[in-house]
Amino acid sequence: MRVDVSIGGNSGNGSGLVVDNETVLTCYHVIRPNGQQPDRIEIVDANGTHPAEIIRVDQYRDVAIIRSAGLRGSCTFKRFAEVEVGDQCLVFGFPLNMPNLSVLQAMVSAKGRLIMTNYPYDCIQVDGRVNRGNSGGPVVDISSGNVVGIVTAKYIPFLRGIEDLQDFVRRQRLPTNRGGVTILGVDFVAFFNALFQIIDQLAGALQLVQVGIGYVIPVDGFTGLLAERQQGPQNSHSTSS
């Protein structure tokens, strides 16, 4: 299902998995992008839009549990030790702000620790298109129908360089309230600001590019958090370890 999040005047989306009635598993970065507290979280399914609340989070493993009254569903899991390289799977989610569920076939291409940079836990790598909005969506083993994990990230070549370029051009924009510098009829303040805006848009587009590698948090990475959910909503600033 789709998870919509609003902060201030901005909104975005991720995906989620109903693990049992009213309980949805998703990624921490979906419901708290850049660590920000959301103003509103909503679950969108075939029956409409439903408000949701945060129950438990684990920032370090990038998982979160949210609850929405009235949801129905359940799933079964395939543990990390049972997942084999070469397993065929399906990736479910709502990439690129799409209104309809997207389903893509993929294959487990690697598993283990340190596969994904800055994620010191077991992880599953899949070869299949993953984009923004897929985060939190389930990856399902085709042969058994069991969930092997949820999408947490995708591989983007030169991602750090793209982000650095975007940060640079956003800092370099020139103030327009101090008058322009015009030479031979060219307003160089307006010219450079327009150039910076184009570079910013290109950098943003590169981050949306479809690529063939995604990273998946295995079932073992969130079973502890699921066991804690009966304790009730977590303190808004606390994080499981």
Same domain, 63 and 123: no
Domain contains 194: yes
pLDDT above 70 coverage of the chain, percent? 82
User: Looking at residue 16, which CATH number applies to its domain?
Assistant: 2.40.10.10
pLDDT above 90 coverage of the chain, percent? 52
Distance, in Å, from the CA atom of 227 to the CA atom of 235, rounded to the nearest integer, reads: 17
Same domain, 20 and 64: yes
Write down the pTM of the prediction: 0.78
Based on the number of CB atoms within 10 Å of its own CB, is 190 exposed (0-12), middle (13-18) or buried (19 or more)? middle
Inter-residue contact 138 to 68 (CB < 8 Å): no
Lowest-confidence segment of 24-33, 90-99, 106-115, 170-179 by average pLDDT: 170-179
Same domain, 19 and 47: yes
Same domain, 9 and 48: yes
Indicate if the pLDDT at residue 92 is higher than 70: yes
Same domain, 148 and 163: no
Pull the structure tokens for residue 14: 């991720």
Domain contains 169: yes
Nearest CA-CA partner of 225 in 2, 17, 11, 9? 17
Domain contains 199: yes
Same domain, 134 and 114: yes
Identify the band that residue 241 occupies on the pLDDT scale cut at 50, 70 and 90.
Answer: very low
Task: Give how many domains the chain has, as a whole number.
Answer: 3
Identify the band that residue 103 occupies on the pLDDT scale cut at 50, 70 and 90.
Answer: very high
Based on the number of CB atoms within 10 Å of its own CB, is 131 exposed (0-12), middle (13-18) or buried (19 or more)? buried
Identify the band that residue 110 occupies on the pLDDT scale cut at 50, 70 and 90.
Answer: very high
Domain contains 238: no
- What mean pLDDT is reported for the chain? 85
Q: What is the residue range of 144's domain?
A: 80-153+214-220
Identify the band that residue 38 occupies on the pLDDT scale cut at 50, 70 and 90.
Answer: very high
